[in-house]
Structure 1
Amino acid sequence: MSGLAPLLAGRERPDVWTWGSNMRVDVVREVVEAAGWDLVVLDGAFFGDRTGFLAAAGEAFAFPEHYGANFDAFADLLDDIARPTLLLFDAWGAYAREDEKWFGVTLRILRERARRDDLPVFAALLRGPGPDVPGLAAID
């Protein structure tokens, strides 16, 4: 949890990282919510392409029914998040390997949202094994 604590306390700038922790999701949720953040869990074990990602993201974030399940809508709805939010993207590696192009788009959107200073804090942790992605650092 050492890498998570500085992020939740505002001592680490929000971004997208890989995270090697094997902490149970319920424990992550407890820690995140105690810090005043919301936790969104996205399990990549159940999809491997952009269509699956967009559908699963819509469910995980509880996007409204009018969510268009496309990347423009995904980005727009991320901007509508009203509270500090941490995305825990478990088993992300399958999507990154199976649909490299669209994973790259996903990563760009997540990074852009995480780096917005004019919106509530947002960060994403990609947990589990995955391919090497240039510029994607690990948080300990």
Structure 2
Amino acid sequence: MAASVLARRELAGPYLLTPQRRDAVLGEIRELELPSIEIRPSATGRTDWLAGAGRALGFPDSFGANFDALFDSLCDRELLPQPTLVLRLGNTAGLDEAGCDTLIAVLQAAADEWRDQGRSLWALFDGPGLDLDALPR
């Protein structure tokens, strides 16, 4: 198998996981034994969606369920100590367009912070209609 894109720290960040690549990428995650967390909160609003994401990520009950708290918690090495982490995000229908845009920006900023720490944070979105590049090959 060719080297996985998920091994390229400089590319880590938020991407669209296209249906055509989904099975292959999930296979790479398993083969490389990368920590992976599925975030698919069933929520009808931003706060509920973020609270569900915090639960999926194992954040403490004190998690503030807002985008600033999400960024801070994602970058907290005590909460997420892994050298590489793949977030698989779906069910973003609970977020409006501005919420999705902010979520993507927060995940990009967190991925940049992880890169500065010598780590890789991947956020793979499984859903149509998002303003994201597809995961590179």
Please give the TM-score of this superposition, normalised by the length of structure 1.
Answer: 0.76
- Cα distance between partner residues in 1 of 2:43 and 2:23: 22
- Cα distance between partner residues in 1 of 2:55 and 2:14: 20
> Given the alignment of the two structures, is residue 125 of structure 1 paired with residue 121 of structure 2, yes or no?
no
Q: CA deviation at 1:12?
A: 6.1
What is the root-mean-square deviation in Å for CA atoms of aligned residues?
A: 2.6
The 3 A distance-change label for structure 1 pair 113 and 42 is same
- Paired-residue identity, %: 30
Please give the TM-score of this superposition, normalised by the length of structure 2.
Answer: 0.77
The 3 A distance-change label for structure 1 pair 11 and 104 is closer
Q: CA deviation at 1:10?
A: 2.1
Q: Structure 2 regions of 5+ residues with no counterpart? A: none
- Cα distance between partner residues in 1 of 2:91 and 2:67: 20
Partner of 1:87: 87
Q: Structure 1 regions of 5+ residues with no counterpart? A: none
> Given the alignment of the two structures, is residue 71 of structure 1 paired with residue 70 of structure 2, yes or no?
no
Match of 2:55 among 55, 59, 68: 59
Contact 2:48 2:65 in 1 (8 A): no
Partner of 1:15: 13
Partner of 1:108: 105
The 3 A distance-change label for structure 1 pair 62 and 33 is farther
For residue 23 of structure 2, give the secondary structure of its aligned residue in structure 1: coil
